[in-house]
Structures are given as structure tokens and as C-alpha cells.
Structure 1
Amino acid sequence: MLSRTLKAMVFAAAITAIAQAAPNFSGDWKMNIAKSDFGPVPAPEELTRAIQHKDLNLAIKTHQKGAQGDISTELKYTTDGKPCMNKVNGSDSAGTAKFEGDNLVIESTREYQGMQLHTKETWSLSDGGKTLTILNHLAVPQGEFDLKLVLEKQ
């Protein structure tokens, strides 16, 4: 009996340690244009992102300025993989966010200019949590391409 109780306690402690080990992406972030790669898409002149990440809740406020003007978006997810709905440029965006190891993977699908757009973002922290790298794979009817966004904590 004691052995079972001890095993249960060790298992619970291990699960708690794993849950606590997930990176926290909270902070105010600014794009490093020199380290980012927008591939075939024109890069914005500037891009900032305010991220609030507490427990399972993730709130992302992005502002970018470029050839298309000033664009701001606000997205909310839970990092448990459950479906979340957001509005992006007036269109519904269905998405999920979940951890895969130390990486956060956000997948979303929405309509954009009459086309179906699917994105898969893989977030990772480096430099002691001071650099956020987002690898973004986009799929549209014309094909697929990848972007790399490097943000520095302010």
C-alpha cells in the first residue's frame, strides 16, 4: 500500500514539474528585421508584440507598420490544444495552441481575400528568454512558404 502511495506521489510531482517547465512567452517584443526572413512577402517596417502568457491563457497583441499601413491584431488562445476562435481583419480564424516540448505550436485557418489560409507557427525562446523566434509555415491555394520572425524582449 505504501508503495502505491509513494508511486502516486512521485507521478504527481513529475507531472507538476513537467507542467511548470513550459516556457513563458510573456513580455513586450520588438522585431529584429536583420535576423527575420519574410521570404516572398514584403517585410513590415516595424512589428511589436505584447504577449501575456499565464498558465494556459495566451493573449497576443501585434502591431505592425509597413506598405499596407498600420495593422493591429489581438488573438487569444489556450495552450492546451483546445480550439479557439479569433477575428483577424474581420474574418473568423479557428486555431489551436499547444506545447511540443519547449516549443509552442499555434495552428490556425481562416479566409483571406477569398482564399483559405492555413498557418503553423512554432515559437521558441533562446538567449535566456530574451529572444523569441517564430517559424511560420503558410499554406495558400497558390502554394506554401515559410517566414522567420525574430523578436527581442524589450
Structure 2
Amino acid sequence: MKKVLVVFVLAVVTMAASAQTNFSGSWKLDTSISELNDQWTMAPKSIDIKQSGNQLQVDKHASFQGNDFTISDTYTLDGKECINKGWRDTEKKSTANWSDDNKSLNITSTILMGDGGEMTIKETYQMDGDALTLDSQTSSSYGDMEEHMVYDKQ
């Protein structure tokens, strides 16, 4: 009986240690501790995330030149390519992969640009205590940009 209990406890601990982080919730940008670009930022003001099973739905609420808009993307969490709508009738091709410890999610996206080039966006989602952090690196013919965004749960 003791062996069965020990095996059961070890199995539960192993499953808990390998569980993927769940980012679900409504999140608001904390500009006071985020590291954003001075002149132009891609940081959404808020993010709504629904994570269930092998799917992640991310709605980013942003503003640019006085216009509010929402970018909605759906990803599978198995590393397979996902295609979402880009801007101006483009396609955004993305893959989402978990870190080895299942604590952070890395999403790499590419969008074809009007100049024939390509924009690459690398995002890493992870929890820092009760806050969601989003590190973003964007590279294109227009240049490179990095931002560290911190979101508080609403």
C-alpha cells in the first residue's frame, strides 16, 4: 500500500511540475514598469486571452494615431503553423512553442510586407508573480524594435 501511495504522489508532483502556464484573463498594460519605445510603441493597452486545451485566443486592444483597433489571433499550442489575418489583406503565419519548463510561450510570426520584404515578430509570454509579461522583438526592412510589456490582471 505504501508503494502505491508513493507512486501516486510522485505522479501527481510530476504532472504538476510539467503543467503548462495558463495565461487566460483580461490584462491591462502597466506603463509605469513596462519598457516601451519612446517615439512609437506596438504595446497593446489591454489584452484578453482565452486558453483552453491546445488553443490560445489573444485579442490585443491598441491605438494608433488616435484610432482604436483590436488584433485577434488564434494559435495552436503544439508548434504547428497557424495563419491569422494580418493588416491590409496580408496573412500572418505563426508558430507557438512552450519553453522546456512550460512556463513561457514563444510565438514567432511572419508577415509579408508591401516592399517585398518580411516582418518577423517574436513574442514571449510568461508570468512574473501575478503579472503577465510580454517581450516582443520585431524585425523588418523598416528596422528592429524591442519592448518589454507588463500587464496587470483585471
Normalised-by-shorter TM-score class: 0.7 to 0.9
Question: What secondary structure sits across from 1:98 in the alignment?
Answer: strand
Tell me how far 1:76 sits from its aligned partner.
Answer: 0.3
Residues 36 and 43, structure 2, Cα contact 8 Å, conserved in 1: no
How many pairs were matched up? 143
Query: Aligned equivalents of 1:152 and 1:143: distance in 2?
Result: 29
Tell me how far 1:18 sits from its aligned partner.
Answer: 6.2
Instruction: Report the aligned-residue RMSD.
Output: 2.7
Tell me how far 1:141 sits from its aligned partner.
Answer: 1.7
Q: Which residue of 2 aligns with 1:3?
A: none
Tell me how far 1:46 sits from its aligned partner.
Answer: 6.4
Q: Do residues 103 (structure 1) and 104 (structure 2) align?
A: yes
Residues 46 and 66, structure 1, Cα contact 8 Å, conserved in 2: no
Q: Which residue of 2 aligns with 1:149?
A: 149
- The within-5 A match list for 1:116-131 is 116-127=118-129, 130-131=130-131
Query: Aligned equivalents of 1:99 and 1:58: distance in 2?
Result: 12
Gaps of 5+ in 2: none
Tell me how far 1:68 sits from its aligned partner.
Answer: 5.2
Query: Aligned equivalents of 1:140 and 1:70: distance in 2?
Result: 24
Tell me how far 1:93 sits from its aligned partner.
Answer: 0.5
Query: Aligned equivalents of 2:74 and 2:42: distance in 1?
Result: 22
Percent identity between matched residues is 27
Question: What secondary structure sits across from 1:134 in the alignment?
Answer: strand
Query: Aligned equivalents of 1:18 and 1:60: distance in 2?
Result: 25
Query: Aligned equivalents of 1:112 and 1:147: distance in 2?
Result: 21
- The within-5 A match list for 1:63-78 is 63-67=61-65, 69-78=67-76
Paired AA for residue 119 in structure 1: I
Residues 45 and 66, structure 1, Cα contact 8 Å, conserved in 2: no
Residues 43 and 66, structure 1, Cα contact 8 Å, conserved in 2: no
Q: Which residue of 1 aligns with 2:22?
A: 24
Question: What secondary structure sits across from 1:22 in the alignment?
Answer: coil
Q: Normalising by structure 2, what TM-score?
A: 0.80
Gaps of 5+ in 1: 1-5
